[in-house]
Amino acid sequence: MDDDVFASIKAGLEEAIAFQRGELEKPVRLTRFERLPDGTLRRIVEEVTSPPAPTPGLPPR
């Protein structure tokens, strides 16, 4: 694997970990998909500054 690619992946993982810990101050884009009644998927992009709240009944990520 090219060193540039590895460095980019590592930086992304470190940013994701910092975000989950609440240590990241800049906004982050979260992408999720929602299935519409006709079976197609709709992409939803949200810009947030803190990690999403845990879903009740599910263990923390």
Distance CA 20, CA 48 (A): 12
- 58 lies in some domain: no
- 35 lies in some domain: yes
pTM higher than 0.85: no
**What is the pLDDT, as a whole number, of residue 54?**
63
- 57 lies in some domain: no
- 36 lies in some domain: yes
**What is the pLDDT, as a whole number, of residue 53?**
63
- 56 lies in some domain: no
- 60 lies in some domain: no
pLDDT tens string for the chain (61 positions)?
578 888 888 888 888 788 777 777 777 787 889 999 999 999 988 887 766 666 666 565 5
Rounded to the nearest 10 degrees, how much is the dihedral formed by the CA atoms of 42, 29, 60, 12? Answer: 120
| Run of H or E including 5 | helix 3-20
**What is the pLDDT, as a whole number, of residue 3?**
81
Max CA pair span of the chain = 44
- 55 lies in some domain: no
- 34 lies in some domain: yes
Tell me which DSSP letter residue 31 carries.
E
Q: Which domain holds residue 25?
A: 3-48
Please give the tally of structural domains in the chain. Answer: 1
